[in-house]
């Protein structure tokens, strides 16, 4: 159906374009949030995985992934059809967005906004797999994962054509599609990869907590685009999403450091940053469905819950290095389910248990998040296992000891004091350039 | 000549430097080092996981002085670096065979 370009609202369009740029900034923010937490030998490896996600996903989004996520239902409802392959047919309305859902922004602006969600979702996984995932295998993994896992789940939940959307599942900005999905996938890849060398034995302290806090700040800032932008308009709903996002994040930060104070004796900066991110994750599905008062409760619960959930890995024995499970899976699932309690029609969506809506919404939320998490976990296990068999997913033991920065990228993150020594040895590839020792790149 | 080496608490560096200047020592080499003695390390907690940190940050300070001054310089450092708490560090001396001032080529005690 052709899109009615005369219905475009310039204010809405401007806000969604600005929001898309805000959401893009979240991926560099995530890179630094994670990068500060890894050991000094792996910080560039972590930053690189996050930045290259922007590269790979952006190209694939234009080619096929957008169409698979937001095209008219095809493949028996599994994903969108390929009608918008290569971003063709951008003069048509986005499938399913009609009647009360009719968009007032150009379809191409919607494409740009949704791209940024697709970028950060696979990037989130890198926290679980930190310090040991091969770069080439990672690139292949996120390409396959975007097409076979992200696009279908986005279709089911976000697209009005999707089966979970049509069941009435509520996911305002991606608690299920982005966070629970990435958390389940992170767990799956971490299981296939195995534990880091020396896990639960060697010190694996964060090497630069100021980076982690800076990253958390960028995430918090960018998240206003993520959630308030998901109103797809500059309107009252965006206002609710904005206020709820900030409120829940603040409450979650307080919840996390309160648990730390009681449990560990001291509130930590890492706890404050982690609590904020847990709150951002949990309010994501709920931002346009709960009241500001509800968001205080939701955020506080999520912050306290996630601060406890990050210890699960030590009990159960999986090495989710930077707690993608404890923060994104647990926070995403909690947020999705809490809508079933705190959802209120006065903001948007349906009433939850606490607002006289009974358990109906909670049931649908559980079904949606269960389907997404279950599919993501199983499909990711299979994808990771196949890539592992074909090309190997993990760097060698020697490479892991040496660190990803030097072994995978031939770089060192910090030059302190300038005592590294050495000489300039010419340039690569230029006519008449000096022959340069080729370092082994086997298995990289 | 004697090399006086001290490992002290980082926040005591300024006190030690001022005391040495007042005594008449006109040059000093310092570096950031890590180590432990009777103090042992400390513990840090990240997301509920506790790590022991064995090597704690210290400042190492080297100064070469004449044989006659060595014992006094050691006393000056010990006095300025002391807090009375565990982890205050250590000071020791080592004999020095020779010394050259790079700019002028002066040797031995003249290079001090």
Give B-chain residues touching A328 at CB under 8 angstroms.
none
Beta partners for B90? B7
How does residue A380 score in pLDDT terms, banded at 50, 70 and 90? Answer: very high
What are the residues whose beta carbons fall under 8 Å from the beta carbon of A100, sequence distance 6 or more?
none
**What integer is the mean pLDDT of B68-91?**
96
What part of B 31-60 touches A (C-beta under 8 Å)? 44-53
Banded pLDDT at B38 (limits 50, 70, 90): confident
CATH classification at residue B8: 3.30.70.120
Residue A438's pLDDT is 54
Tens digits of residue pLDDT in A313-349: 999 999 999 999 999 999 999 999 999 999 999 999 9
Number of domains in chain B: 1
Chain B residues in contact with A260 (beta carbon < 8 A): 45, 48
A8-391 has which CATH code? 1.10.3430.10
Pick the residue from chain B with its C-alpha nearest to A310: B47
Q: How confident is the model at residue B26 (pLDDT cuts 50, 70, 90)?
A: confident
CB A284 within 8 A of CB A174: yes
Is pLDDT at A267 greater than 90 in this prediction? Answer: yes
Across A242-270, average pLDDT: 98
At A433, is the pLDDT very low, low, confident or very high (cuts 50, 70, 90)?
Answer: low
Q: What angle do CA A132, A138, A140 make, to 5 degrees?
A: 155
Measured in angstroms, the CA of B17 and the nearest CA of chain A are apart by 22
How many whole angstroms separate alpha carbon A168 and alpha carbon A249? 26
Nearest beta carbon to residue A310 from set B48, B50, B51: B48
Decide if B47 and A274 are in contact by the 8 Å CB cutoff. Answer: yes
What's the pLDDT at A439? 54
- Predicted pLDDT of residue A109: 98
Q: Of B46, B52, B54, which to mutate for an interface test with A (greatest number of A Cβ within 10 Å)?
A: B46
Average pLDDT over chain B reads: 94
- ipTM field: 0.87
Which has more pLDDT, A440 or B82? B82
Q: Is the pLDDT of residue A420 over 80?
A: no
Q: State the pLDDT at residue A226.
A: 98
Helices A209-228 & A107-125 angle (0-180, nearest 10): 150
> In the predicted model, is pLDDT for residue A282 greater than 80?
yes
**B46: β partners:** B49
- Could you tell me which residue, B42 or A48, shows the higher pLDDT? A48
Res. A372: pLDDT tops 90: yes
- Residue A147 scores a pLDDT above 60: yes
**B59: domain range?**
2-111
Contact A314 B45 (CB under 8 A): no
Would the pTM count as exceeding 0.90?
yes
Tell if the CB–CB gap between B53 and A260 is shorter than 8 Å. Answer: no
Q: Choose from A198, A201, A205 for mutation: most chain B CBs within 10 A.
A: A205
Mean local confidence (pLDDT), A240-269: 98
Question: What's the pLDDT band for A437 if we cut at 50, 70, 90?
Answer: low
Residue of B48, B49, B51 for testing the chain A interface, max A β-carbons within 10 Å? B48
Q: What are the tens digits of pLDDT across the range A34-87?
A: 999 999 999 999 999 999 999 999 999 999 999 999 999 999 999 999 999 999
Residue A315, pLDDT score: 96
Query: Above pLDDT 70, what percent of chain A?
Result: 96
Contact B44 A307 (CB under 8 A): no
Confidence band for A432, pLDDT divided at 50, 70 and 90: low
Beta strand spans in A28-83 (E): 73-74, 79-80
Q: Computed over its alpha carbons, how large is the radius of gyration of chain A?
A: 22
Q: Which two tokens stand for residue A366?
A: 């559980």
Q: Quick one: pLDDT band at residue A436, thresholds 50, 70, 90? A: low
pLDDT of A246 reads 98
Q: How far is CA A356 from the centre of its chain?
A: 33
Enumerate the domain spans of chain A: 8-391
CA distance B44 to chain A (A): 9
What pLDDT score was predicted for residue A270? 98
């Amino acid at each position: 159906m052709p899109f009615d370009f005369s219905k475009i609202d310039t204010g809405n369009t401007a806000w969604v374009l600005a929001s898309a740029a805000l959401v893009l900034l979240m991926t560099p923010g995530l890179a630094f949030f994670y990068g500060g937490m890894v050991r000094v030998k792996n910080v560039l490896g972590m930053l690189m995985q996050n930045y290259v996600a922007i590269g790979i996903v952006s190209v694939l989004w234009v080619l096929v992934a957008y169409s698979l996520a937001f095209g008219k239902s095809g493949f028996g409802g599994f994903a969108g059809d390929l009608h918008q392959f290569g971003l063709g047919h951008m003069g048509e309305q986005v499938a399913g967005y009609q009647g009360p859902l009719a968009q007032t922004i150009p379809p191409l602006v919607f494409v740009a906004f949704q791209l940024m969600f697709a970028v950060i979702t696979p990037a989130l996984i890198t926290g679980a797999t930190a310090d040991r995932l091969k770069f080439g295998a990672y690139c292949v993994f996120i390409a396959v994962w975007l097409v076979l896992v992200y696009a279908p789940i986005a279709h089911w939940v976000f697209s009005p054509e999707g089966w979970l959307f049509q069941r009435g599942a509520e996911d305002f900005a991606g608690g299920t599609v982005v966070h629970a999905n990435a958390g389940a996938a992170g767990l799956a890849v971490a299981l296939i990869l195995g534990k880091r060398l020396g896990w639960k034995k060697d010190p694996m302290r964060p090497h630069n907590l100021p980076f982690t806090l800076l990253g958390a700040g960028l995430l918090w800032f960018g998240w206003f685009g993520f959630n308030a932008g998901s109103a797809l308009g500059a309107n009252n709903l965006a206002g609710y999403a904005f206020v709820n996002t900030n409120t829940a994040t603040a409450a979650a930060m307080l919840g996390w450091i309160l648990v730390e104070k009681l449990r560990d004796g001291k509130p930590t900066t890492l706890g404050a940053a982690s609590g904020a991110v847990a709150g951002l994750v949990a309010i994501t599905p709920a931002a346009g469905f709960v009241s500001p008062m509800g968001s205080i409760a939701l955020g506080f619960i999520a912050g306290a819950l996630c601060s406890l959930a990050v210890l699960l890995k030590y009990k159960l024995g999986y090495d989710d290095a930077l707690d993608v499970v404890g923060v994104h899976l647990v926070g995403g699932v909690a947020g999705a389910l809490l809508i079933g309690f705190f959802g209120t029609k006065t903001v948007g969506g349906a009433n939850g248990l606490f607002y006289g809506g009974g358990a109906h919404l909670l049931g649908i939320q559980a079904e949606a998040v269960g389907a997404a998490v279950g599919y993501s976990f199983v499909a990711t296990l299979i994808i990771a296992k196949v890539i592992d068999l074909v090309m190997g997913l993990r760097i060698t033991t020697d490479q892991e000891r040496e660190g990803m920065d030097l072994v995978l990228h031939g770089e060192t993150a910090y030059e302190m004091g300038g005592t590294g020594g050495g000489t300039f040895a010419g340039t690569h590839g230029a006519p008449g350039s000096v022959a340069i020792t080729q370092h082994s790149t086997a298995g990289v | 000549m004697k090399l006086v080496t001290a490992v002290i608490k980082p926040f005591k560096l300024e006190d030690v430097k001022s005391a040495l200047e007042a005594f008449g020592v006109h040059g000093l080499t310092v570096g950031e080092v890590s180590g432990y003695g009777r103090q042992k390390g400390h513990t840090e907690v990240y997301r509920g996981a506790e790590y022991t940190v064995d090597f704690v940050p210290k400042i190492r300070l080297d100064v070469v002085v004449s044989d006659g001054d060595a014992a006094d310089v050691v006393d000056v450092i010990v006095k300025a670096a002391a807090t009375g708490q565990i982890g205050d560090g250590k000071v020791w001396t080592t004999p020095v065979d020779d010394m050259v001032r790079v700019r002028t080529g002066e040797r031995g005690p003249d290079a001090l």
